[in-house]
Amino acid sequence: MKGKIGLVVGLGVGYVLGTRAGRERYEQIKTQWLKVWNLDPVQEQVTKVKGFVGDKAAAVPGAIWTGVVKVAKSVGGDGTPGQKLDSAIATGKDAAEDVAKATDAATAEARKTAAKVTASKSSSAKSAQAKADD
């Protein structure tokens, strides 16, 4: 629900700003954004984040696959159907916890990286401001 509301609000704000500012202002904003985006410090951080996301995102599907394999093995084991069901449920809960842990770890690492990027940007902005003041 939050996503839908955010989408509607974003579309509304974009429409209002777009109609008031016009195409010329849009082009100015776009040009300035591209100048910032193409700065070497920004691109260095983008490269770091891409590498990080690739590494950490790979852990989540691996945890899911391991959980699926464990559940399948527990169902294929010996015992009555009720015992197999109980085993599958317990294994499924354990697998879900493992996936949650992997996701939480990836999220925590992403937040740390984002904080580093933000700190780097603010220090770069401060040094640029100091140079401009001189």
Q: Under 8 Å CB-to-CB from 75, ≥6 apart: which residues?
A: 84, 87, 88
The DSSP call for residue 80 is -
Greater pLDDT, 132 or 55: 55
What six digits make up the tokens of 116?
């580093």
CA dist 16 and 8 (Å) reads 12
Element containing residue 39 per DSSP (H, E): none
pLDDT at res. 59: 67
Does the pLDDT at position 125 exceed 80? Answer: no
Identify which of 113, 70, 123, 117 has the alpha carbon closest to the alpha carbon of residue 92.
Answer: 70
What six digits make up the tokens of 91?
């294994």
pTM (predicted TM-score): 0.42
Determine phi and psi for 83, rounding to 5 degrees: -65, -40
CA dist 70 and 40 (Å) reads 46
